[in-house]
Amino acid sequence: MFGVIISGRPVLTEPQALSPTQYAFPLPATPSFSHIVVFLLPGTQLPPDTAAGVYVQIPPSSEFRFLGAIANEKQSAIFKVDGVDPAAMVDPATGQVAPVTLGVSVEPVARIAELMNAKQAQQQQGGSSGMELVRAGAAAANPISTKVLAQRIIANAFNFLASFAGNVGPGGQEVVPLKSFQDWWAKFEKKIEMDPGFLERGDQA
């Protein structure tokens, strides 16, 4: 039902099912990361009047912190995750770094709206801690379709990678070095940190 992407890692699409409405993704803390993409798998629809709350638990804390939500109207989001410090997450019993746990819970829209409002109020009091790039559809004032968002991400990648294309082989097939894609992702991730709303504005610079 849900998928998760962390830069430089394989896409995760098979969470642990804790209940019919609750799922968990154990995420190795190394290498360290600061953003997580959560999305509905193609063809997936949440039940009417529900949204999927996204939570994170970072050792040594046992509490789950609310990050935001996705919904049928907003099927993907990028969340900023603060506090992933592998050096502080070593399990004394095993000597190994404990994993981060990402939780996804299907809940009534009204409950998600309450959590979103509480999070927003907390940020206004203590400063922003990195809201998700795309808010849940129930809370978005000017929703942008998943298709448009995907088109803008692809356009951003194409514009960056086009200058690195070169011809190889007898037929002169055009290729782009893998490192160029890695450089694009690093630049894209940095831009999200500095200006989370640039995709919503359609800014491809």
CA dist., res. 162 & res. 155, Å (int): 10
| Tens-digit pLDDT profile for residues 98-154 | 999 999 999 999 999 999 988 888 777 765 444 333 343 434 444 556 667 777 787
Burial of 124 by CB count in 10 Å (0-12 exposed, 13-18 middle, 19+ buried)?
exposed
Tens of pLDDT along 176-204?
777 887 888 888 777 777 776 666 666 55
pTM value is 0.62
Instruction: Check whether 174 has a pLDDT greater than 90.
Output: no
pLDDT above 70 covers a percentage of the chain that reads 80
Handedness of CA 157, 158, 160, 164 (dihedral sign): positive
Element (H, E) at 2: strand 2-5
pLDDT of residue 137: 41
Write out pLDDT tens, residues 37-51: 999 999 999 999 999
Q: Which of 85-89, 136-140, 152-156, 161-165 has the lowest mean pLDDT?
A: 136-140
Tell me: pLDDT of 91 over 50.
yes
Tell the residue number behind the tokens 């990028």, with chain if given.
Answer: 78
